């Protein structure tokens, strides 16, 4: 089951220290960090500490990997949560997380791409930011494979776009 540790009032160095401890304890294949706003400083500190191969900065407002379907990374990652929740999964019994996951309105832009309600509008209605749901969304930023499971094909390169968009079992697909 997922577990969320919530830390309030920490500066970038304190958050980077917490992340360093978790990386050293759990040895994750990848750690995705929200680099919009203050998260960029944490990302820089972790890279300086030698975790550049593990950490990857994600900007929620940047171009979606599948930009024909999604207006930005935020909409893409949140939609991946929706798809994941359509299976039988176990979430923490946390009313705050539940509220965050159901609060975002959605619409489509002029190109027919999914876009979520502005975060500021959600904050006004919910009374807080969607930090836990955004943290969960980061786990869907890109496919992550155990280091021992990655195989290279053809010219030895597989692009993130191919892994994301392909339903070909060779890449796993979404």
Which residue segment(s) compose the domain that 3 sits in? 1-59
Say what the pTM is.
0.81
For the chain, the domain total comes to 1
User: Residue 127 domain-assigned?
Assistant: no
Dihedral sign, Cα of residue 40, residue 69, residue 158, residue 24: positive
Q: How far apart are CA 82 and CA 156, in angstroms?
A: 33
The vertex-146 CA angle with 142 and 147, nearest 5°, equals 105
Q: What is the mean pLDDT of residues 138-143?
A: 94
Mean pLDDT over each residue of the chain, to the nearest integer: 85
Q: What is the mean pLDDT of residues 55-84?
A: 97
Q: How far apart are CA 15 and CA 23, in angstroms?
A: 12
Q: How far apart are CA 36 and CA 125, in angstroms?
A: 22
User: Residue 148 domain-assigned?
Assistant: no
User: Residue 39 domain-assigned?
Assistant: yes
User: Residue 37 domain-assigned?
Assistant: yes
Other Cβ atoms closer than 10 A to 73: 24
Closest CA to 75 of 87, 60, 85, 55: 60
């Amino acid at each position: 089951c997922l577990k969320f540790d919530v830390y309030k009032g920490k500066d970038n160095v304190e958050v980077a220290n917490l992340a360093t401890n978790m990386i050293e304890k759990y040895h994750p294949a990848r750690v995705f960090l929200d680099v919009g706003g203050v998260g960029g400083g944490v990302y820089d500190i972790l890279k300086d500490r030698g975790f550049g191969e593990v950490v990857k900065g994600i900007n929620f407002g940047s171009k979606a990997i599948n930009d024909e379907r999604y207006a930005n990374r935020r909409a893409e990652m949140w939609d991946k949560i929706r798809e994941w929740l359509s299976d039988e999964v176990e979430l923490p019994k946390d009313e705050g997380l539940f509220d965050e996951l159901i609060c975002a309105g959605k619409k489509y832009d002029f190109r027919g791409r999914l876009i979520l309600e502005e975060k500021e509008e959600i904050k006004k209605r919910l009374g807080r930011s969607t930090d836990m749901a955004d943290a969960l969304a980061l786990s869907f930023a890109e496919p992550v494979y155990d280091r021992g499971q990655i195989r290279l094909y053809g010219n030895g390169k597989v692009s993130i776009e191919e892994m994301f968009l392909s339903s070909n079992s060779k890449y796993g697909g979404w």
